[in-house]
Each structure stands twice: as C-alpha cells, then as structure tokens.
Amino acid sequence: MTENNSTASHISYLEETGGRSGIFKWILSTDHKRIGLLYLYSIATFFIVGAALGVMMRLELMNPGQQFVKPSTYNSLFTLHGVIMIFLFIIPGIPAVFGNFMLPILIGAKDVAFPRVNLLSWYLYVIGAIFALSTLVFGNGPADTGWTFYAPYSVNTETNVSMSVMAAFVLGFSSILTGLNFIVTIHRMRAPGMTWFKMPLFAWSLYATAWIQLLATPVIGITLLMIFAERLLGVGLFDPSLGGDPILYQHMFWIYSHPAVYVMVLPAMGVISEVVSTFSQRKIYGYKAIAYSSLAIAFIGYFVWGHHMFTSGMSGPARIIFSILTFLVAIPSAVKVFNWIATLYGGSINVKAPLLYALGFIFLFMIGGLTGLILGALATDVHLHDTVFVVGHFHYVMFGGTGFAFMAAIHYWFPKMYGINYNMKRATSAFWTIFFGFNVMYFPMMVVGVMGMPRRYFDYLPEFHIPNFISTIGSWILSVGLLMMIGNLIAAFRKRKKAVDNPWNGKTLEWSVNTPPTLLNFDEIPTITKGPYEYHEQ
C-alpha cells in the first residue's frame, strides 16, 4: 500500500483512468471528485437551458401584448424554467458539485462513505433530468402548472404533469442519497483529530443541509406520488369534487419546499464562509456562531412553510404563528452576515474574483433576505402575494444568493479542481457585468411588483411597461456576463496555465494536497491539530 502510494501519489485523479477509457472513465468512476465534475457538467448544462428559457420569458414581457409566444406556451416556459432551475440546478448545485468534490478532502477522508451510492445518485439525477425534458416531446406538452404543481389544476390539466412530477420524485431520491452519504461521511470518516469544531464551515453547512435533504424530501416524494396516482387512477386525494382539500396539497408541498430553500442557500453560506476567511487572511469571526446558525436555520426552516399560504384560506391563528416563526429564521441568517463582515474587518483583503462573488452574495442576499421579511409579514404579504415582487425577492435570494455563491465556489476551487488558472482580469470584468445586469434585471421586478403586477402572466397593463422593458435589457446584460464568465473558464483549458497548490494562501485541507488532487486525495491521512482558519494575526 505504501509503495503503491509512492508511485501513484503524483498521478492526479484526472489522469487516473482506473483502466477505463473514453466516457466510461467518467460514468463508471466512483471517485468523489469525478462524480463532482459529472454533476458540474450536467448541472451547468441545465443551468444554461434554464437561463435560456428565462431570457425567452423576458423577451415576451419586454412590451405589453403578445410578443412571440402564445399564453399557453408562456405557462409552459415558466414551469419548465422553474422545474429545471429548482430541481436540476439549484437544489443539487453546490452540495452535489462542490460538496462531492471538496467534502472528503476538507475533513481528511479518501472518499465519501458510500462511493457507489454516490454514483447512483448521479444516475438518478440524469434519469430525473431526462424525465423532465421528455415532457417537451411526449404527451400534451410540458406542464403548465408552475413548478409548484398546485392541485387541483395539476390534476385536471391536459399537459404532461405526470412526467414532470415523476421527474421531481426521482430527483428527490437523488438528493436524499447525496444527503445520506454526507451525513455518514461526516460522522464516520473525519481524519484523526478532526473534531466537529475543527471542521471547515463548508462541511458544517453541508451537514445541516444533508439533514434537510434527508427529512424534508420524502414529504414531497409522497405528495407527488399522490398527484401521480390522482392523475393516473382518478382518486381524489386533493380534488375538492371528490372530497379532497387542495390546501392540504399546499401544506404538503411547502413542508418540503420551504426547507428546500435552505437546501439551496445553506451550502452557499458555507462557501461564503470559506471564501471570506481565505481572502481576508483572517480567522473567521464567530466560528461556532456560524456553525450553530447553520443547524438553527436547518431546524427552524421546518417551522415556517405556512408563509407561502397566507392568502390561500388558512386559519387566522395559523397565519399569525407562521408569520412570527418566519421572523425567527432571519436571526441565524443575519448572524452569518454580521460574522462575515466582522471577518473582513481589519483583514488583509485580497480582491479577487472569488471574493467579489462572495461580496456580491452578501449584498444581494441581504436585499433578498430583507424583502423576504416584507413577504413574511402577514399584512404586507396580503398585498404582495403572487405579484412580481415575489419573483424579484426569490431571484435575489436564489440567484443573487446561491447562484453567486456557486460562481464564487467555481472561481475559488477551479485551480484546485483542474490544476490550471483562469484569467483573473476577465473573471473580474465578467463579475461586474453579471452584477450590474442582475440588478438591472431583477430590481425593476420589485418595483413593478409593489405597483401590483401579478406574476405568471404573459401580458400586462401598459403602466407596467417601463420597468419590464428595463428588466428585459438587464436580462441581456446578465446573459452577456454569464457567457463571459463561462467563456473565460473554458479558455483556461486552452491556455493551460499551471496552477500552484495554494494560490490563495488558504488554510483548509484542500490547499495542502496536490493540485489537482490524487485519486486518494492524501498520501497519508493527516492528523489534525489546528482549527481550519489559523492565520497569523497581523
């Protein structure tokens, strides 16, 4: 074993084919790093598809009146955009790509606990994706219900809802297996000396996320199975004409889907903690507070789903309780923001692309979070419910938050993952284009939402024209920025400028291993004696 290591140690995982060739060295490999990259390529593909659908929607909304799609097509557009972005991009996003790639390295392990289950979960992801996209071809067109599949419309519509819910079901299974794997990995595979409070905060956030994936996802699984059965067998579980209660569907849906937004954002917060600490060369401020706040968000996240249903006919006391609980969840989120800012304060800040994206996250997530409180307050929500304001809020949290963290993560770990550098100047200008385009696109949505424009319509009243026009222009700027970013990363493979082992002077374990890492990550499993962010204070 030791002599194997001495020869194999400098063979990177990318050169290590496991005796397989071509595509098989990817789709049959149980190496967590290759699986992470498999996820990266598939998720990036669907992100581009989803973004293209979003640009089409913006084009339709550029001017009042029908532009170039039929109303029913528009309904399918926003449903497919939602399903793809939620289930295929943002839920698996950071955990499946960077969690898979980095978690074992961060805690000093050779792989995840169940490597074959890990590969299985990628296959399930692909099957789910095929299901979701097959609705474009099979049946009466893609679902037109919105990604929420609200009953009874989802039961009655002619479009191919059955296939879409099965897609979400399979993808949920994939997500569960990833979460299960991470929990066991963190419990059983930490290196000697890697105590819970010596774990990097990204690992903490993945741990909290994994518990949500594990305990919330089955609820959507069973709910979607009921919708499926209802469509297939005509059994009225949520159909009022057969005795069912559609509001119960909304409860079941949001029992999962609200915690799910923390599946989306918690790993993002973990990434930001890593990036902020490394690029200010300072020990993270309030390590334990950030670690505990991840668990607190995960836990409180189970208590607040009702704030999606304030106008649906829920009982008065329930609405008040859900509103109060919603405010509670803002506390641990704010704890994190304060801690990041305190970490930056007095640090030797190195303004590079990963930090820019992280700062973009903090700024945009704050706008998203605070508009979330406006929606969480019962009285204002009654006015704003189902307006474009909600769409603006959601994109500030999910794209401005998780999306920016995803981009921070790719710029942060890219040199380690591939052993090459990207062009920093272009990465920076891509960031500013994205940041500018993002705000031009989504801020007008908040304005026009307060003015009263409802969401999910292909047309609108003339007085909403100007904000919508600006927003569409923003979508073009944003698209250009995204293409610049992607192009810059792809160009890195042509230039192949070799990266050093530790380009940002990071202190967590991934920076101590080879670039790119070897198959087993470590020549010898390290013994951990220090915390994850031990910088010498200047």
Partner 1 sequence: MSKEPHTNHIVSFSNQLKVWIALLLLTWLTVTIAYIDFGNLTLSIALLIAVVKSTIVLAYFMHLKFDSKILTVFLILVIVIFAVFIGLTFFDYALR
Partner 2 sequence: MSSSISNSAITAVHQVDEHRDDGASKLGMWLFLFTELILFGGLFLVYSIYRLMNPEAFAAGSSHLDVSIGAINTIVLITSSATVAISITAIQLKRKKLAINLLLVTILAAAIFMVNKYFEWGHKFELGLFPGGDAFNVLEGGEKLFYVLYYFMTGLHGLHVIIGAALIGWVAWEVKVGKQTHDNFAFLENAGLYWHLVDLIWIFLFPLMYLIA
Q: Which stretch binds partner 1 (CB under 8 A): 95-103, 246-254, 359-367, 368-376?
A: 246-254
Residues 162-181 that bind partner 2 (CB under 8 A): 176, 180-181
Query: Is residue 525 classed as helix, strand or coil in its secondary structure?
Result: coil
Indicate which of partner 1, partner 2, none lies near residue 519 (CB less than 5 to 8 Å, by partner kind): partner 2
Q: Is 244 in the site for partner 1 (CB under 8 A)?
A: no
**Which residue from 8, 242, 318, 490 is in contact with partner 1, where contact means CB under 8 A?**
318
Neighbours of 239 (CB within 10 A): 18
**Which residue from 44, 62, 126, 321 is in contact with partner 1, where contact means CB under 8 A?**
321
Indicate which of partner 1, partner 2, none lies near residue 318 (CB less than 5 to 8 Å, by partner kind): partner 1
Q: End-to-end alpha-carbon separation of the chain, Å? A: 43
Contact yes or no for 278/507 (Cβ under 8 A): yes
| Residue placing its CB nearer to partner 1 in the complex, 188 or 498 | 188
Q: Which stretch binds partner 2 (CB under 8 A): 152-160, 215-223, 289-297, 378-386?
A: 215-223
Q: Is 108 in the site for partner 1 (CB under 8 A)?
A: no
Q: Is 13 in the site for partner 1 (CB under 8 A)?
A: no
Which among 524, 519, 514, 416 is positioned nearest to 18, based on CA atoms? Answer: 519
Which x/- pattern, by CB under 8 A, does the window 252-271 give for partner 1? ---x----------------
Q: Is 538 in the site for partner 1 (CB under 8 A)?
A: no
Report the distance separating Cα 439 and Cα 433, nearest Å: 10
Report the distance separating Cα 302 and Cα 453, nearest Å: 30
Q: Is 115 in the site for partner 2 (CB under 8 A)?
A: yes
Report the distance separating Cα 364 and Cα 437, nearest Å: 13
Query: Is residue 103 classed as helix, strand or coil in its secondary structure?
Result: helix
| Residue placing its CB nearer to partner 2 in the complex, 113 or 477 | 113
Q: How far is the CB of 117 from partner 2 (least distance, A)?
A: 8
| Residues pairing with 12 in the sheet | 518
Neighbours of 457 (CB within 10 A): 14
Q: Which stretch binds partner 2 (CB under 8 A): 225-233, 267-275, 404-412, 462-470?
A: 225-233
Indicate which of partner 2, partner 1, none lies near residue 235 (CB less than 5 to 8 Å, by partner kind): partner 2
Q: Is 233 in the site for partner 2 (CB under 8 A)?
A: yes
b/e 128-162 (16+ beta carbons within 10 angstroms → b): bbebbbbbeeebebbbbbbbbbbbbebbebebbbb
Q: Is 321 in the site for partner 2 (CB under 8 A)?
A: no
Residues 179-198 that bind partner 1 (CB under 8 A): 187-188
Query: Is residue 454 classed as helix, strand or coil in its secondary structure?
Result: strand
Report the distance separating Cα 491 and Cα 354, nearest Å: 18
Give CA separation, 495 vs 14, 30, 408, 492, 499, in Å: 17, 29, 21, 5, 12
Q: Is 103 in the site for partner 2 (CB under 8 A)?
A: no
ω before 516 within 30° of 0 (cis)?
Answer: yes
**Which residue from 322, 406, 464, 522 is in contact with partner 1, where contact means CB under 8 A?**
322
Query: Is residue 477 classed as helix, strand or coil in its secondary structure?
Result: helix
Q: Is 306 in the site for partner 1 (CB under 8 A)?
A: yes
Which residue shows structure tokens 């082992």? 501
Residues 387-446 that bind partner 2 (CB under 8 A): none
**Which residue from 55, 59, 69, 215 is in contact with partner 2, where contact means CB under 8 A?**
215
Q: Is 207 in the site for partner 1 (CB under 8 A)?
A: no
Indicate which of partner 2, partner 1, none lies near residue 303 (CB less than 5 to 8 Å, by partner kind): partner 1
Interacting residues with partner 1 (CB under 8 A): 187-188, 215, 219, 247-248, 251, 255, 302-303, 305-306, 314-318, 321-322
